[in-house]
Amino acid sequence: MCKRGVFIVFFWLVSLTGFSQMSSDFSALDKATYDFYLKKDWKNLLIYGKWGLQNGFDYYYLRMRLGIAYYEQKNYRKAIVHFRKALEFNFKDNSALEYLYYAYLFSGRKTDAYALVSEFSQSLKKRLQITDKAALTGFSINNTYRWNPEFNNITSDFILPGEITADGWQPIEKNLNYLTVRFEHQLSNRFSLLHGYGYLTKMRSLFVQDNLSTTSLINDRFNQYQIFLSGNLFVHRNISMKLTVHYINLRPKTYDLSSWGGGPFPTNNYSSVSPENNWVGYLSGNLDLGLFTFHGGIGFSNLNDRYQFQKDLRLSFFPLGNLNVYTITKISHQSNYNQSVAYNNHFVINQTVGFKIVNPLWMELNATWGELSNFSILDGIVIYNDINPIQYKFGLNLLIPLSKKGIEFLIIYEYMGMESRYVSYSDELPDLNNPTKHHVHSITGGITWNISKN
């Protein structure tokens, strides 16, 4: 009996010693991290704070201090994790909610930021001047001009090869101009709507073969109108989905060649507009995890009398936890169908690197390898529906904020390798004849106004 009592007393003393040590460690940790917080010594705060978490100490003030330390170092994506944890200890804390809201915005996660507003108290909304009402949150206008410096050399002595016997035509692009206007509305804390309108005009030469007789249609003018709607839905924390529907009205000209005897054709006569309607649908989803954003999407379209099925995977990486440096890697697979038969399956790879040069100037460098024809980018918002495929392109983007009210100037330069192909009228023949390679340049300029909810 005596031995048993000694045994119990021994373990009670050991437990008491362990508890005292833990209490002492907690007090030291709390005091040290608070002192570092007051001194704004974010580096040491992070060292001690992470040690505390690894040793089982997890509480509201520690998470807030860690979140603020990352926030002050502009590592917003890591700060988000700790502010979210702090809210698990005190889910209505205005300080944690406010920090989390701006961490979302500054890391580019606007959907999560607006969804978080539903958790705000009325006093916090009033102080930050945030409204729950539907509002215009973005506007942009852009213009793209693309030109082919090799146009005259190609068209001056262009001849269709004799082995092409099927009736059809081959376009050679001279230049194009594309104007777009976009509006974004936050209709609720969880749903936003982007809609846009585009007008494209293109100058080109057409070489038409009919019964083995070739006619040159010089300076053919082609017009195109576009409308798209893109809805973005916050599904759950870190998860969003987007559905885009894009309508394209093509206005090609139809020429009456029956009374023409060959040679250059006067395109201002014997022509009429023959409208065509094309559609694109695109469904995508985003998942944000720490410094990464994972994206997947599928698209269906009926561009240029064919059917397309596109699958995309994209990985974005933000090594500093903000928008000062990032990489975006995208892999796409596209299938083109003619009469329900897939005749062209291929991959497209795109790599983008973005970084802040100086304040306030951002640059993006991007490269794409693979055939861009009847192809969707930016979740179905931008469509490459040119019959002549782009085989590769390199681009440089400059983003210059013009004011603290969200007004930005964008300029984009792109260099593209294209290939003109003979298009057979027969649905049984793929458009892979007489490849004529050339290079084009494009410049885009535009103004964007990102209107905050507060």
**205-219 mean pLDDT:** 84
- Say how far apart CA 152 and CA 167 lie, in whole Å: 25
- Reported as a single tens digit per residue, the pLDDT across 295-322 is 999 999 999 888 999 999 999 999 999 9
Instruction: Give the chain's domains with CATH numbers.
Output: 9-126 (1.25.40.10), 135-450 (2.40.160.40)
Can you give the pLDDT at residue 17?
40
Residue 438, amino acid: H
Predicted TM-score (pTM) of the model is 0.89
247: Cβ–Cβ under 8 A, 6 or more apart, which residues?
Answer: 226, 227, 228, 277, 278, 279
**Residue 181 token pair:** 């206007």
- The region of weakest confidence among 4-8, 51-55, 365-369 is 4-8
> CA angle, corner 419, sides to 415 and 425, nearest 5?
145
Quick one: average pLDDT of 100-113?
A: 96
Amino acid identity of residue 197, one-letter, is Y
322/52 Cα distance (integer angstroms)? 25
The mean pLDDT of 106-129, rounded to a whole number, is 93
- pLDDT tens digits for range 329-388: 999 999 988 766 667 899 999 999 999 998 889 999 999 999 999 999 999 999 999 889
pLDDT digits (tens, 9 = 90+) for 393-406: 999 999 999 887 78
Supply the mean pLDDT for the chain. 89
Q: What is the mean pLDDT of residues 136-142?
A: 95
**Residue 276 Cα distances to 252, 253, 428, 442, angstroms:** 8, 11, 21, 26
Cβ-based neighbour number of residue 221 at 10 Å: 14
User: Residue 444: CB partners within 8 Å, gap ≥ 6?
Assistant: 142, 143, 144, 145, 410, 411, 412, 414
Tokens of residue 97, six digits:
């909610």
Model confidence pLDDT, tens digit, residues 141-186: 999 999 999 999 999 888 888 888 888 889 999 999 999 999 999 9
Which helix or strand (DSSP H or E) is residue 407 part of? strand 407-424
Rounded Cα distance between 289 and 81, Å, is 10
* 194-214 exposure pattern, b = at least 16 Cβ within 10 A, e = fewer: bebebebebbbbbbbbeeeeb
Helices of type H across 302-345: none
Angle at 400 between CA 398 and CA 406, to 5 degrees: 135
Q: Give the lowest-confidence range in 12-26, 129-143, 186-200, 219-233.
A: 12-26
Name the pLDDT band for 425 (thresholds 50, 70, 90): confident
Tokens for 454, please give them.
């507060």
The beta-strand segments (E) located in 63-167 are 135-147
pLDDT value for 376: 95
When pLDDT is averaged across residues 222-240 and rounded to a whole number, the result is 96
- Count of other CB atoms within 10 angstroms of residue 323: 17
